């Protein structure tokens, strides 16, 4: 998104991406209306909307035997409701648009380190296929490398050691089943949560997160099954809504796994680079807002850069980083904190049961929870 916005404004941009596209990714695939509106403003919506699943107008919360649903708040922007699209399509579509806007794409190249060279920044990258190495100099370097699997690049907040509370994530697609097309439920199960949504090609995206300690227990109880299958069996055993929505559905591919994740705010980079998306702050997947925060933070940062001079001294860059950091925290820290509350509540079987019981009587709370997580959020440009 940064590459697209900056290239459209006439900046000279290089995107360095270590994976070859299209590639699958562990993600629920829901893109909220505020992110779709920013994509539309960047004149990149056609490719995204052409394939995306139906409009999502209803949220759900499934816990134990309870199934609660409520309307999703409409967003007051170009797009009113979010839709889902596989990351193999979304990421490739945005990269294509950035290329058309003039960005040079280095792919599959992995950034191994960044540093300063006088007033310029330097990015050292290696071709993932041939091992060839290159150094690129730039006035600005934007980290958009996510939070897991960054290769040899040392990143702020890199996960070391193991914690019982680390999250491991799994994802697959189903076809068929009885999930209402406009509904996106969050499902609670002991030690984890899952999300369902209709996505492109008539598929239902199913993703799950589970604490490391809960995963170990689930796997001990189901020897001989893969981690993804063991987690999925746990979801089906403990959650009526999951059984009813996908009882007759067909699983389309093997479970894809990722992690460990430690959602939360990250320290801003201290080496003169700037960061967006999960590299800057990671929402709990429970609220399905990570793509949106990625796109909004990219839009926010691009706005700061476009108001500044393209050629910067180290001091000028530091001033931009300081302003952006403050704006980022204003826009996103509360949403990221709220996502953590939702995640913890959902993973605790007792708390999830109480919440579902209360929401059965006051479904508006579910609508409010979705609004707080950002489903009605401000456009950040």
Ligand X SMILES: Cc1cc2nc3c(=O)[nH]c(=O)nc-3n(C[C@H](O)[C@H](O)[C@H](O)COP(=O)(O)OP(=O)(O)OC[C@H]3O[C@@H](n4cnc5c(N)ncnc54)[C@H](O)[C@@H]3O)c2cc1C
Q: Which residues bind ligand X (CB under 6 A)?
A: 16-19, 26-30, 110-111, 144-146, 150-151, 153, 169, 171, 207, 209, 258, 261, 277-279, 285, 288-292, 294
In the complex, minimum distance from the CB of residue 340 to ligand X, in angstroms, rounded to a whole number? 14
Measured in whole angstroms, the distance separating CA 354 from the mean position of its chain's CA atoms is 28
> How many Cβ atoms sit within 10 Å of the Cβ of residue 316?
14
- Smaller CB separation from ligand X, 69 or 286: 286
In the complex, minimum distance from the CB of residue 192 to ligand X, in angstroms, rounded to a whole number? 10
- Smaller CB separation from ligand X, 119 or 127: 127
Half-sphere exposure of 346 (CA within 13 A, CB side): 29
Catalogue the E-assigned strands of the chain.
14-16, 30-31, 58-63, 66-71, 83-84, 104-106, 109-117, 120-127, 133-138, 142-143, 167-175, 183-189, 192-198, 203-211, 250-251, 256-261, 264-265, 274-275, 281-282
- Smaller CB separation from ligand X, 7 or 298: 298
In the complex, minimum distance from the CB of residue 316 to ligand X, in angstroms, rounded to a whole number? 25
- Smaller CB separation from ligand X, 292 or 299: 292
In the complex, minimum distance from the CB of residue 305 to ligand X, in angstroms, rounded to a whole number? 17
- Smaller CB separation from ligand X, 136 or 345: 136
In the complex, minimum distance from the CB of residue 19 to ligand X, in angstroms, rounded to a whole number? 4
- Smaller CB separation from ligand X, 18 or 317: 18
- Residue 17's alpha-carbon distances to 111, 146, 159, 239, 250, in angstroms, are 8, 11, 21, 39, 33
CA distance 99 to 141: 18
**Position with the least CB separation from ligand X:** 290
In the complex, minimum distance from the CB of residue 87 to ligand X, in angstroms, rounded to a whole number? 7
- Smaller CB separation from ligand X, 134 or 319: 134
- Residue 285 DSSP code: G
With the CA atoms of 229, 230, 232 and 236 taken in that order, what torsion angle do they form, in degrees rounded to the nearest 10? 130
**Tokens 């001079």 label which residue?**
309
Q: Are 192 and 210 in contact (CB under 8 A)?
A: yes
């Amino acid at each position: 998104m940064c590459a697209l916005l900056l290239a459209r404004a006439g900046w000279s941009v290089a995107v360095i991406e270590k994976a070859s596209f299209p590639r699958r990714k562990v993600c629920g695939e829901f893109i909220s209306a505020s992110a779709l509106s920013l994509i539309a403003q960047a004149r990149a919506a056609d490719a995204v909307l052409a394939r995306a699943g139906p409009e999502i107008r209803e949220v759900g919360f499934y816990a134990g035997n309870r199934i609660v649903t409520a309307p999703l708040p409409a967003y007051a922007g170009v797009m009113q409701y979010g839709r889902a699209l596989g990351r193999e399509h979304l990421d490739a579509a945005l990269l294509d648009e950035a290329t058309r806007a003039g960005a040079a794409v280095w792919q599959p190249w992995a950034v191994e380190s960044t540093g300063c060279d006088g007033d310029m920044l330097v990015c050292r990258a290696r071709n993932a296929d041939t091992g060839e190495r290159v150094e690129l100099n730039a006035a600005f370097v934007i980290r958009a490398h996510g939070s897991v699997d960054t290769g040899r690049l040392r990143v702020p907040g890199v996960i070391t050691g193991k914690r019982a509370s680390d999250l491991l994530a799994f994802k697959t697609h189903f076809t068929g089943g009885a999930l209402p097309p406009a509904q996106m439920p969050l499902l609670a199960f002991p030690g984890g949560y899952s999300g369902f949504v209709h996505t492109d090609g008539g598929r239902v995206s199913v993703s799950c997160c589970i604490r490391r300690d809960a995963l170990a227990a689930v796997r001990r109880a189901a020897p001989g099954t893969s981690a993804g299958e063991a987690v999925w069996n746990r979801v089906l055993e403990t959650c009526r809504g999951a059984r009813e929505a996908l009882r007759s559905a067909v699983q389309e591919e093997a479970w894809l796994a990722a992690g460990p994740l430690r959602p939360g705010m990250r320290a801003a980079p201290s080496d003169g680079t700037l960061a967006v998306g999960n590299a800057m702050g990671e929402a709990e997947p429970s609220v399905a807002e990570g793509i949106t925060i990625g796109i909004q933070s990219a839009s926010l940062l691009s706005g700061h850069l476009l108001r500044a001079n393209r050629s910067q001294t180290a001091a000028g860059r530091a001033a931009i980083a300081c302003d952006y950091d403050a704006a980022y925290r204003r826009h996103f820290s509360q949403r990221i904190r709220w996502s953590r509350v939702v995640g913890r509540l959902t993973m605790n079987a007792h708390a999830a049961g109480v919440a579902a019981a209360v929401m059965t009587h006051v479904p508006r709370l579910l609508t409010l929870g979705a609004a707080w997580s950002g489903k009605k959020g401000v456009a950040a440009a």
